[in-house]
Chains A and B, each alone.
Chain A
């Protein structure tokens, strides 16, 4: 089955700095790569996603890059703010199928 590795497990940055979280996957048939933000006790919130026919996608301070050949994708958050502090999960799937999640990255943005 699909194996999703996510790094780092914890990340602490100063407000205004950038944060980068990386994921690798094993199944070359995977074609959908979302990123979720989860606050304590709440459901995961989709923040950005990318499909296999695209190499990069940006939405304001958030961007995702995908390297299908190397089977890795990354989340980039620029100009971080304290409210960005949360646990971030990458996930991988074949469209319409269940998500395989990474183990999560706990991001702390300090003022």
Chain B
């Protein structure tokens, strides 16, 4: 199966700052990666589909200018939460899908 590395695993930041989360596919060239968000005691919700070399596709209700996605290579996608606010505090998790979905370890973001 695919090995997915996600960093950082946990980040605390002040309101108004930006946070970058990296998702690396270590043994699979991923033209597509997915970004999910999970609020406490809730399910995983797809935020966006990251496409290598082109713009990401965002789900309804997800602000593309707030959640910047860059997928510049076949092994790396980044999600930047810009001007983070407390309501952005959540568990962010990426996945790649050579056949089934393989998830990164997730990033717990806490915005103070």
Contact with B along A46-66 (1 / 0, CB 8 A): 100100000000000000000
- Chain B binding site: helix, strand, loop or mixed by DSSP? strand
Q: Is the CB of B97 within 8 A of A44?
A: no
Q: Give the complex CA separation of A99 and B47 in angstroms.
A: 11
Beyond A98-B34, A101-B44, A104-B43, 7 additional pairs, beta carbon < 8 A: A32-B100, A42-B106, A89-B43, A95-B99, A99-B44, A100-B46, A103-B43
Contact with B100, one of A41, A49, A100, A101 (Cβ below 8 angstroms): A49
Decide yes or no whether B101 CB sits under 8 A from chain A. Answer: yes
In angstroms, Cα B97 to Cα A93, docked, is 11
Q: Shortest Cβ distance from A107 into chain B, in angstroms? A: 14
Given contacts A89-B44, A98-B46, A101-B45, contact A43 B104 (CB under 8 A): yes
Q: How far is the CA of A97 from the CA of B43 in the complex (A)?
A: 18
Please, how many residues of chain A have a CB less than 8 angstroms from a CB on the other chain? 20
Chain A interface mostly helix, strand, loop or mixed?
Answer: loop
- Judging by beta carbons under 8 Å apart, are A43 and B93 in contact? yes
Residues from chain A with Cβ under 8 Å of B95 in the complex: 99
Inter-chain contact total with CB atoms closer than 8 Å:
42
Q: How far is the CB of A101 from chain B (nearest CB, A)?
A: 5
Closest to B108 in A: A41
- Is B105 close to A, CB under 8 A? yes
Q: Which residues of B contact A95 (CB under 8 A)?
A: 99
Show 14 A/B contacts (Cβ-Cβ < 8 Å), sorted by A.
A32-B100, A34-B101, A42-B106, A43-B93, A43-B106, A46-B100, A89-B43, A89-B44, A93-B101, A99-B46, A99-B95, A100-B46, A101-B43, A102-B43
User: Is residue A111 contacting chain B, with contact meaning CB distance below 8 A?
Assistant: no
B21 to chain A, nearest CB (A): 14
Given contacts A43-B105, A89-B44, contact A34 B49 (CB under 8 A): no
Tell me the B48-97 residues at the A interface (CB within 8 Å). Answer: 49, 91, 93, 95, 97
